[in-house]
Structure 1
Amino acid sequence: MNNEIINALLTRRSVRSYKPQQVTDDELRTVLETGTYAPTSMGRQDPWIVAVQNAGLRQELTEMNAKVMGVDSDPYYGAPTIVLVFATKGARNAVQDASLALGNMMNAAHAIGLGSCWINRELEMFDTPLGRSIMQRLGLPEGLTCVGALSLGYIDKQPAAPKPRKANYYRVVK
């Protein structure tokens, strides 16, 4: 099918190598805005989206994530921007709502020529005194959990070609 949206969905890949230059404000705003248009349970718009470009805070997040992961490397793959998505802890659809926002932003990034990768371990990172302190510094309300993050930036090394889709990935029942 020759459709720009379908093509973007079929060709997006996780990027794990970024150029050091920061994305433009317009590009960032575009990606973040698409996250705000993701479907949410009953239209509540529960997720809180925070883009981190501050080098000091980015380093702090990198160290926290690496510690949870048990590595010394950068779990954000050197991306100059980290996008964190929080939602109300314990809310019935917090993970689903935040995940849809992350998905929208990954697809939007690809559509405008940026790379992204979903990064895990934020649940553990922000469920610590340091994590809660960072949330306070970010001006976030109490009672949130961080569902996930995106590394975001200009692609330095193209990701590998997609793996073939598994047999019987989907079924149609009529």
Structure 2
Amino acid sequence: GLAERNTAKTIQSIWEEEIFSRIHPDDLQEKHLQELRFFHFLKSVPEKKRPDYYLIHNMRMRDHSGRYVHILHRMFYIASHSNGSVWLSLCLYNFSMDTSLSCTILNSADGQTLELEKQNCNDLLSDREKEILQLINKGKMSKDIAQTLSISINTVNRHRQNILEKLQVNNSIEACRIAKELHLL
């Protein structure tokens, strides 16, 4: 397995850093991209039907000896907030024998499949949002960004909120990190 036999470990965090550290770097970037694409896909699905869909994605993870093995990653969004936004997700990781499986969205209610394109994520953020994120990455404050781009500080702050929402992060530092991983910066 991924760990030594007869061992167990409790991770004192809701974040997947322990798992991320085992994923092949190329596959980790692809995982983040496809999860974002899946999240944006679900926004177009009626709230009651969202739990019917899940994402499957093949990736490589290091086992206890450091060797990469093929893993099937499945992601489910299983609950939404009262305002309709996605709230709770579940990721499952299993060994995979089928390495040809591409990133796919499955509808468990009717068996329909939708293949996610393995393409760049340049369309996740608008050109203006990318421009603002680049300035944030350089350490610029909203006031300075507003002056540089000749827009109001309120417009800058609205773009910042949109960036955080689209990249599914809580702050600008995380947004810059994810944007770098996805080659948006």
The TM-score by the shorter chain falls in which range?
Answer: under 0.3
Q: Which has the higher contact order (CA 8 A, sep 6+)?
A: 1
Structure showing greater Rg: 2
Structure having the higher strand fraction is 2
